[in-house]
C-alpha cells in the first residue's frame, strides 16, 4: 500500500471509530469504514470495527463476516478491540 493510501485509511478509520464508539451516525460511520476498507482491504482493525458498527446498526450477518475476515488476517484484533472496551 502506498503511504498516502495508508494515511487515508487511518483517517477514515479514526473518523468512523469515533462515530461508532458514540453509537451516532452509524450509516456515516459505515460509509467511512467502507472507504477505509476499499483503500486497505487487509486492514484487520478497520474490518473488525466495521463489524462492530454493522452489529450496532442491526446488520448481524455482515457484522459476523467482517469480524471473521479481520480475525483471519490478525487473530489479535479482538483483544485489541477489547482493550478499548469494544465488544465483537
CA 88/CA 77 separation, integer angstroms: 10
Residue 88 belongs to some domain of the structure:
no
The structural domain count of the chain equals: 1
The average pLDDT across 52-78 equals 93
pTM of the model: 0.74
Cell numbers at 12, concatenated: 477514515
- Domain, as residue range, for 61: 3-83
> Would you state the pLDDT for residue 20?
64
CA 82/CA 37 separation, integer angstroms: 21
With CA atoms as reference, report the closest residue to 16 among 45, 51, 53. Answer: 53
* Residue 86 CA neighbour count, 13 Å, CB half: 23
Give me the CATH number covering residue 63. Answer: 1.25.40.10
**DSSP 8-state class, residue 1:** -
The average pLDDT across 47-65 equals 92
Amino acid at each position: 500500500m502506498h503511504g498516502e493510501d495508508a494515511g487515508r485509511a487511518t483517517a477514515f478509520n479514526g473518523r468512523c471509530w469515533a462515530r461508532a464508539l458514540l453509537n451516532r451516525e452509524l450509516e456515516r460511520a459505515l460509509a467511512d469504514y467502507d472507504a477505509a476498507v476499499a483503500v486497505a482491504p487487509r486492514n484487520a482493525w478497520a474490518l473488525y470495527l466495521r463489524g462492530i458498527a454493522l452489529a450496532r446498526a442491526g446488520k448481524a450477518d455482515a457484522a459476523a463476516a467482517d469480524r471473521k475476515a479481520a480475525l483471519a488476517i490478525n487473530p489479535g484484533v479482538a483483544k485489541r478491540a477489547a482493550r478499548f472496551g469494544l465488544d465483537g
